[in-house]
Each structure stands twice: as structure tokens, then as C-alpha cells.
Amino acid sequence: MSIASPGAARDAASLMAARKIAISTGGGDAPGLNAVIRAATLGALERGWEVWGIRQGYRGLLDDAPDGLIRLDRERVRGIAHLGGTILGTANRGDPFHYPTPGEHGLVPRDRSEDLVRRFRAEGFDALISVGGDGSMRIAHQLLQRGLPLVIGVPKTIDNDVCCTDLTFGFDTAVSIATEALDRLHTTTEAHERIMVVEVMGRHAGWIALNAGIAGGADAILIPEIPFRFEAIAEKIRLRESRGRRFSIVVAAEGAYAQGGELIIKDAGDAFRRTAVLGGVAERVAKELAARTGKEARSMVLGHLQRGGGPTTADRLLALRFGAAAARCLVEDCGSGMVALRSNRIELVPLEEVAGKTKTVPLDSDTVVTAREMGLCFGDEAPGHFVAP
Ligand code: F6P
């Protein structure tokens, strides 16, 4: 559903009773969260509503902390659009359906969703703006079914893996940081005539690795969507050697894995955080390539650097557009949904279409084709594919 013009929104707003809305930011942070908070808050204040921020995901509603809810006024959201992190804090062990609760032998997961809905209503909130990734959209959808009156989701993640939106904010920043790292690693890797394997984030999607790998001039890109063969990458490196290029750069998405192999996991998660933390593929690939080519190989993990600091201009703008659209949706009474970018228009998509899905890299996408046409290796090439011109 497309969201109507601001003019129409203002007319509708004047007909509506004052609203009280809450904003929460959940899951891993992403550059641009504060820009969403600012735009959504200003959009709501302009319409005469009251805005509150929920601290640390939903903790501010579920724990009895005195500062669990923060009143958001113009002063509170002044000068924050360019800042990283989130002024509300976030949590990735705060799923209200599996909430960490003290039990006899330590913390146990408990379904606190009804407590959350009760407190939300008791505070007099009319609507929630939930800023998060796929997990947060699933939770938002479940909360609606539990009786939350109205939820507008705003898709956030550096991984760009939320379904039904062309882009999430945070992604452009992560790609820019990874690309800059690749630019820097080129000089040192070439000086030492080494192989450098760089691990980037992205969970089960290869968007960051693919985009940064192409922009940063990597020689091989390993993504979860294309299981790789070690020998295919080694062959690419030997081909480069034969052309006098004595160094090679490989970008590996943390979720990439070898054909017939398995995902490399750093931490399997627990009863509260039910998604595994991935990590270690770069080290594994570097060892294998050193053994197969006889060259010195190093690995490095870019890690949380990709999420730290302020958003790029593109992310800041997208986050501001999403935040303003979230408040606009409430005026239009569009019902619940997630704001999404589609062909450069902001639309509202049903939460049930988003919940529980992952947007991965399509293998026939222009970006993948571009990389292949430039001779980049994905590690799936057939033996003998690399023929020197
Ligand atoms: O989803 C964002 C993300 O940064 C992933 O790319 C990564 O796998 C994960 O979060 C890391 O989570 P944490 O911040 O808990 O280490």
C-alpha cells in the first residue's frame, strides 16, 4: 500500500484525537537508528501527539526500572540524526515471548507478551513504532496478535536481509566501511605478496560481501548463497600469480560455507538469543588457501566496526524517510505494517508478509552478473574455468 501525501496527512490529522505513541529499537544496532527516532518524533510532535521511547528494546516496559520510558521532545531528538547507536538502547536478548526471567537456577525464558500488552495499554499508548530487523518484525507481528493496538515496523539492519524492502538503513554504511577496509588492505597485502581473507557480517545473506567485494576490488567473494570450493579459489589465485599479480584479496561473508561443508559458528545462542553468532570462516579459508597455494595467508574479521559510528548520507536520508513515513502511516490510519522502500517509493507492507523471511542475494542479480563478467571468483567455478587470455 502506498502512503498518501503530507497534505492529505495534515488534513486527516486535524480530524483525529491526540495520540500517544511509543518507539522501540531492538536487535543489533545499525547506523541510522537515531535518524529514524528523530524523524518519527518530529512527525508526531508536528501533529500534536505525545511521543515516548522504550529503553533497551522492550525492557523499558517489562522491567520495573524507573527510567524505562523516556519522553521524546524536540530537545531530546535535537542533533542526533548523524549519530550512530541508538539513544534508546537496544537488546538482542529481549524477545518478550522468551524473556529472561529469574528462576530457581538462574534466568529462564518466560512468555511476557501479555504483561507487555497490558503495560502498553495501561500507559495509554495508541501505537508502537518498532525499529528492527527480521526478528523484530516477527515479534511485532506476534504482539499484534496478542492485542497490541497498532504497530508500524521500520526495517533496520546492516545485513540488508529484511524481506519486502529494496534496502534497509545501515547497509550502505556497512558496505562503505568494508570497502574502505579493502582499499587499505590492498596496499599492505600487495607489499607482502600475501593472500588476505576479510570476513564481513551479513548472517545468512551475502549483500555486504558482494557489494563491498565488487566496489573494493576483491579477487574472490564468498557468499552464503553460493557454496564454494577451496580449490576453485586456489585456482583463481594461481591464475593471478601467472599474470604477475602476486597478492590476492578474498572477501568472505560470515555465513559463507564450503560445498558439502557447514556454517562456522562462534556461539550457538541460548534460550533467550535463539540465533547463532557466526564467525571464523575467514581463518578457515586462509589456512586452506595457504596450504593449497604455498603462499602466506592472513585473515581478519571486520566485526562490529561495520556497525559503529554514524550513518552515511544515504543511510541517514533513508532512515529519516522511514521515520517520517512511520508517523505519517499513523495519521493515514493505514493499519499495521512495515514501511518499505520499493522502487524509491515508501510503501507499507503487511507484517505477515515480512515475518520469518530472509532476503538473500538473487543469483541472477545484476550485481552478481557484474562480478562474474569482471572475472571475480565466487568459488563455484567449474575446474578449468580460469583460462588465461
Ligand atoms: O544482524 C546484524 C549483525 O551485525 C549480523 O551481521 C551479525 O551476524 C550479528 O548482528 C552480530 O551480532 P552481535 O552484535 O550480537 O555480535
Whether pLDDT at 34 is above 80: yes
For the chain, the average pLDDT equals 93
Q: pLDDT for 95-144, tens place per residue?
A: 999 999 999 999 999 999 999 999 999 999 999 999 999 999 999 999 99
Q: Return the CATH number at 75.
A: 3.40.50.450
- Regarding whether 197 and 136 lie in a shared domain, the answer is no
- Regarding whether 163 and 36 lie in a shared domain, the answer is yes
Give the annotated binding-site residues for substrate.
157-159, 194, 201-203, 254, 298, 304-307
Per-residue confidence at 15, pLDDT binned at 50, 70, 90? very low
The verdict on residue 385 lying in a domain is no
Q: Return the CATH number at 209.
A: 3.40.50.460
The verdict on residue 17 lying in a domain is yes
- Regarding whether 194 and 160 lie in a shared domain, the answer is no
Q: What is the mean pLDDT of residues 299-311?
A: 98
The better pLDDT of the pair 157, 356 is held by 157
Instruction: Say if ligand 1 is within 6 A of residue 235 CB.
Output: no
- Ligand 1 centroid vs 315 CA: distance in angstroms? 18
- Regarding whether 260 and 126 lie in a shared domain, the answer is no
- Regarding whether 280 and 184 lie in a shared domain, the answer is yes
Say what the pLDDT of residue 381 is: 83
Whether pLDDT at 348 is above 50: yes
Say what the pLDDT of residue 48 is: 94
Q: How far is CA 151 from the centre of its chain?
A: 20
- Regarding whether 121 and 46 lie in a shared domain, the answer is yes
Say what the pLDDT of residue 269 is: 83
Q: Quick one: 367 exposed, middle or buried, by C-beta within 10 A (0-12, 13-18, 19+)?
A: middle
Give the 3-state DSSP-derived string for 134-179, with helices as H, strands as E and coil as C: HHHHHHHHHHHHHCCCCEEEEEECCCCCCCCCCCCECHHHHHHHHH
- Count of structural domains within the chain: 2
- Regarding whether 34 and 152 lie in a shared domain, the answer is yes
| Helix or strand run (H / E) with residue 184 | helix 171-192
Q: Between β-strands 345-349 and 337-342, what pairing exists: parallel, antiparallel or unpaired?
A: antiparallel
Say what the pLDDT of residue 389 is: 40
- From atom 14 of ligand 1, which residue's Cα is the shortest distance away? 28
Whether pLDDT at 355 is above 80: yes
pTM for this entry: 0.95
Q: pLDDT for 363-382, tens place per residue?
A: 999 999 999 999 999 999 87
Per DSSP, what are the bridge partners of residue 267? 277
- Regarding whether 45 and 21 lie in a shared domain, the answer is yes
Whether pLDDT at 47 is above 80: yes
- Regarding whether 147 and 184 lie in a shared domain, the answer is no
**Domain of 137?**
6-169+311-353
The ligand 1 atom nearest the CA atom of 158: 2
Q: Between β-strands 106-110 and 345-349, what pairing exists: parallel, antiparallel or unpaired?
A: unpaired
Instruction: Say if ligand 1 is within 6 A of residue 307 CB.
Output: yes
Q: pLDDT for 261-295, tens place per residue?
A: 999 999 988 888 778 999 999 999 999 999 999 99
The verdict on residue 82 lying in a domain is yes
- Regarding whether 189 and 155 lie in a shared domain, the answer is no
The verdict on residue 20 lying in a domain is yes
- Regarding whether 221 and 302 lie in a shared domain, the answer is yes
Say what the pLDDT of residue 384 is: 57
Name all contacts of 270-273 with Cβ < 8 Å and 24+ positions apart.
271/98, 271/108, 271/109, 272/93, 272/95, 272/98, 272/99, 272/100, 272/107, 272/109, 273/92, 273/93
Say what the pLDDT of residue 9 is: 44
- Regarding whether 248 and 142 lie in a shared domain, the answer is no
Instruction: Say if ligand 1 is within 6 A of residue 159 CB.
Output: yes
The verdict on residue 297 lying in a domain is yes
The verdict on residue 75 lying in a domain is yes
The verdict on residue 234 lying in a domain is yes
The verdict on residue 381 lying in a domain is no
